[in-house]
A and B are shown apart, each in its own frame.
Chain A
C-alpha cells in the first residue's frame, strides 16, 4: 500500500492551505473596536448585543428541543450551558473578534460577531 505522497497529494495540500489563508480575508472585517454579537435561531435574529462596554453580564436564553443560555460580557460572548447532546457549543468557549462564530448545530443557534464598519464609528479623531 502506497503511503509516499504523490504529486496530487501535494496539490491537494496546497489547495487546502490556500483556502485556509483566503477565507479569513473574506470573513474578518477590519476591527474598529466595536463588536456586535448577533444571535440567531433557525435563521431568525433573537438578540443583538453591542459587546463593548457592557457593564453587566447579559444572559440570553433560547428554547426549542435543545434549550440553552448564552452569556455576554464586556467584549466577549459564549454559550454558557446547553441541553444539546454534543456540547460542542459550550466547549467553543468565548469568542470576541469580528468574523468569529459560535454555533449549536442541534439547536440551530448561531452567534455571529460583526465589527462595526468605519462609517458609523462613535468618535472620529483627526
Chain B
C-alpha cells in the first residue's frame, strides 16, 4: 500500500470521527429536547407549589456529555437545545432566559466535574448545574426587569436547585452506570 493510500485512509477515518461526533451530538440535542418536553408532563408544581420550578431532566444529557465526551460537545448541545426549544415552545424572551441559565450552568458543572470523584459526586455536579442555571435566569430577570428586587426569589430557587439537582442526579447516576456496563461508552 502506498503512502498516498494510507494518507487517504487516515483522512477518511478522521472525517468519520468528525461525522460520528456530529451525528451523535444531533442525537443528543434531540434527546435533550424530548426530555424537556417529557418534563412538562410531570406535574411537579402539584407536589411543590412553586411557580417556575422544574426538574431539569434535559440537564442529564449535558451531564452525560461532560462525563463521556468533551466539554465542547456539552456546550454545543446545551446551547443548541436552548435555541431549538425556544424556537419551538417559547419565544425570544424564553430564549434569553434559557441562555442565561445555560451560560452559568455549564461552567458550574465543568468546575465541579474537575473535582470528581475526589471532592464531588454526581449529585454535587448536578446541584451546581441547577444552582448555576437558576442564578443565570435570575440574573437575566434582573437585567430585563431592571430591578434587583427579583433576587428576593433567590432562596426559593436555591432550595429548588438543591432538591431538583439531587433528584436529577439520582436518575442520571444509575443510568450512567448502566451505560458503562454496556461497553458503548467510556469515561473521558
- Taking a contact as CB atoms under 8 Å apart, the answer to whether B121 and A42 are in contact is no
**Surface stretch bound by B, among A18-26, A46-54, A69-77, A117-125:** A18-26
Task: Pick from A1, A13, A112: contact of B122, CB below 8 A.
Answer: A1
* B51 at interface by CB-CB < 8 Å: yes
> By the criterion of a CB under 8 Å from any partner CB, how many residues of chain A are at the interface?
38
Check if A60 is an interface residue, CB within 8 A of chain B: no
CA distance A20 to B123 in the complex (A): 19
**Interface residue SS majority, chain B:** helix
Confirm or deny: A126 has a beta carbon within 8 angstroms of a beta carbon on chain B. no
B53 → chain A, closest Cβ, in Å? 10
**A100 contacts B152, C-beta separation under 8 Å:** yes
Which residues of chain A from 91 to 117 have any CB-CB distance to chain B below 8 Å in the complex?
91-92, 99-101, 103, 105-106, 108, 110, 112
Cβ-Cβ contact count across A and B, 8 Å cutoff: 120
* CB <8 Å contact, B94 and A106: yes
Q: Known A12-B124, A85-B94, A88-B51; judge A20-B152 contact (CB<8 A).
A: no
- Which B residues between 163 and 181 are near A, CB-CB below 8 angstroms? 169-170, 172-174, 176-177, 180
Asked if B155 contacts A24 (CB within 8 A), the reply is: yes
Q: Is the CB of B152 within 8 A of A9?
A: no
Number of interface residues of B (CB under 8 A): 47
Q: Which residues of B contact A9 (CB under 8 A)?
A: 120-121, 123-124, 127
**Residue contact A91 to B146, C-beta cutoff 8 Å:** no
For the complex, give the distance between the alpha carbons of A27 and B156 in Å.
Answer: 13
Contact of A4 with B151 in the complex, beta carbons under 8 Å: no
Segment 58-96 of B: residues with Cβ below 8 Å from A: 89-91, 93-94
Give the B-binding residues of A (Cβ under 8 A): 1-9, 12-13, 16-17, 19-21, 23-24, 27-28, 40, 42-43, 85-86, 88-89, 91-92, 99-101, 103, 105-106, 108, 110, 112
Query: Which residues of B come within 8 Å of A, CB atoms?
Result: 45, 51-52, 89-91, 93-94, 97, 112, 115-124, 127-128, 131, 141, 144-147, 149-155, 158-159, 161-162, 169-170, 172-174, 176-177, 180
